[in-house]
Amino acid sequence: MIRALTVLASTFRGDARACERERVAGVDALVALPRRGSGPVVVYANAATPLGLEQPAVGRFLSALAGVGFVAVAPELPHVREGEVTSETIDSLVAVAGAAGPRVALIGASTGAGLAILAAGDPRLANRVTAVAAVGPFASLRNVLQLATTGYYGDRPYPAAPLLARAAARSLAASAREDPAVPALLANRDPWLFDELYEALEPGTRALVWELSPLARIGDVLAPVELASSPTDPFFPVEESLVLATAGSDVRLTVTRALVHVKPRLRPGIVPVVAMLDRTLRRAAESEPVQALRPSVA
C-alpha cells in the first residue's frame, strides 16, 4: 500500500508543480504527467466547489498521482463549480475520459463521485474503464432533491449541509427549464408533500432525474467499483452508498469515520481508505502507458 500512502501524504503536504492547464476534448483540464512522460491514465472528477480546479487539493492530488507514475487528468466539468449536474456534465466527462487514453480509471469525490459512476456506466465508455473509486457519492437524484428541499431523507430528518439545497435546485432548474411543476417542488419544505409534487413533474423531467442518478448506471459499470462513505456524511447519507453497493455487479463499500465527507483524516478507520485507493491504483496500473493526450477537439 506504499503507493496509495504516498499519494495521500503528497495530497496533504505536497504541491501542484507537476500540473499544467490543457484542453482535453474541448474541455479545460488540469493535467499532470509523470517524470518519464507516460503512464496509465487516471481521470479525476472534482467535488462541487466554487474554486473548481483552483482548489489546492486538486492540483496536489494530480501531482501525487503523477509522482507514482500515472497520467492524471481533472476536467473543469460544466456547471460543477455551481453544484449542477446535467446531461452536459456527463457528456463532458465521457468525452474527456475517452480522449485521455484507450483505457482509463475514474476517481471522483462527492458530486464527482456520482459523475464518475455515471460516466463509467455510459455505453460510450464502459468497456474502456479499468477501475472506479467514488468517495462520498449520491445514488438517487430524487432522494437528493427531497433532502435538499425538505431536510428529510425518506421519513426522517437529516441535517444536510446548506450547499446541497442550492446545488440540487440548480441542477433541476437547469435541466427542466420548461417544466411548470419545478418551481413548486423546489419551493416546498413539507416532506409529506414531496411525493405528490414530484409526481406532478412532467414525465420527461422524472426520466431525466433518473438518468442523472448513479443508481441508474452502476449496473452497467463493467469495471470494479470502490465506494467509500462516512457513516455521518453531511451531504449524502451513507444509505446512498449502501444502495449503490447492492445495485452493482462488482462493488466494494468502505464505511469509515476516517472520512469527513471526502477528506481522509488520520484517525481510526484510515487504513481501509488507504486500502481502497491502493486497489484502485493497482487496477489502473494494469493499463498500457499513454505517451501523450490526444489532441483536443474544440
Q: According to CATH, where is 3.40.50.1820 located in the chain?
A: 2-139+213-285
Q: What is the pLDDT of residues 69-92, one digit of tens each?
A: 999 999 999 989 888 888 999 999
Return the pLDDT at 268.
83
Q: Are strands 27-32 and 41-45 parallel, antiparallel or unpaired?
A: unpaired
CA–CA separation, 144 and 287 (whole Å): 35
**H/E element, 233:** none
Return the pLDDT at 166.
77
C-beta separation of 191 from 151 below 8 A:
yes
Q: Pick the closest to residue 247 from 267, 269, 218, 204 (CA basis).
A: 218
Give the chain's largest Cα–Cα span.
Answer: 58
Return the pLDDT at 175.
81
Residues whose CB falls within 8 Å of the CB of residue 12, separated by 6 or more in sequence, listed in order: 60
What is the radius of gyration, based on Cα positions, of the chain? 18
Return the pLDDT at 188.
94
CA–CA separation, 286 and 70 (whole Å): 11
Q: What is the mean pLDDT of the chain?
A: 91
Does residue 292 register a pLDDT over 60? no
DSSP tag of 235: S
2-139+213-285, what's its fold?
A: Rossmann fold (3.40.50)
